[in-house]
Amino acid sequence: MSIDFTVMYAAHDAFRRDLDRLANVVAADRASSPRVRAGWANFKHQLRIHHIVEDTVLWPRVQRAARGMPSALALLREMAEEHSRIDPLLAAVDAGLGGAAGLLEHVEDLRAALDEHLGHEERSALPLVRSLLTPEDWEAFTEEIRRRQGAQGTAVFVPWVIDGIAPTERSRFLATLPPPVRSLNRLTWERRYRKLRLWAV
């Protein structure tokens, strides 16, 4: 059985979508909205969990499986270096939202760097994961994300991922979830998430 990257790709698209939203509200000089700040806080939370679990669970498993493969190990070093560049960019946006100069430039720098990283991961690192890891390895990665999210975090993560996506992608993502989770999302989570009105100005 091959590894299913549906949730990973959907999360990547949600990161890109949120930074597009942030860039739009900053360009319109509307970033002071409390709901924009809440959207930004959620974006940072989701991204940090995603990267921490990649760094502590996913990439070490790939590294062990890639012993004796210099090109694969070099790619993993590139993933780590790209992650290390993101935190200063997040801090720069934080400073800009706090009133420091250059907010739009900082947002654009973050958007470009993250999009480049996600594209690199999708083109190169995920195929390497598929070639070297087992479905059980991948499950260990996704289980650690679930553990770090916890029940309350999952109740935000699921509707956040599908916020505004096309019906086909929405159906594909939801199909990866257990039926009880889909039911909770339909009956409770999405309604509660919509009330947050993240990114609204």
| 34 belongs to a structural domain | yes
Structurally, the chain folds into a number of domains equal to 1
pTM of whole model > 0.85? yes
| 42 belongs to a structural domain | yes
Question: What is the distance between the alpha carbons of residues 60 and 197, in angstroms, rounded to a whole number?
Answer: 37
Predicted local distance difference test score (pLDDT) of residue 42: 98
- State the residue range of the domain holding 101: 6-150
| 24 belongs to a structural domain | yes
Q: What does the pLDDT average to over 108-122? A: 98
Q: What is the pLDDT of residues 51-104, one digit of tens each?
A: 999 999 999 999 999 999 999 999 999 999 999 999 999 999 999 999 999 999
Contact (CB, 8 A) for 15 and 114: yes
| 17 belongs to a structural domain | yes
Q: What is the pLDDT of residues 131-159, one digit of tens each?
A: 999 999 999 999 999 999 999 999 999 99
For residues 65, 138, 73, 110, the Cα torsion angle rounded to the nearest 10 degrees is -170
Average pLDDT over the chain, rounded to an integer: 97
Question: What is the distance between the alpha carbons of residues 61 and 80, in angstroms, rounded to a whole number?
Answer: 14
Q: What is the CATH number of the domain that holds 130?
A: 1.20.120.520
| 98 belongs to a structural domain | yes
Sign of CA dihedral 80, 3, 7, 185: negative
| 64 belongs to a structural domain | yes
Contact (CB, 8 A) for 16 and 115: yes
* Res. 184 pLDDT band, cuts 50 70 90: very high
Burial 146-177 (b: 16+ CB within 10 A, else e): eeebeeebbbbbbbbbbbebeeeeeebbbeeb
| 51 belongs to a structural domain | yes
| 168 belongs to a structural domain | no
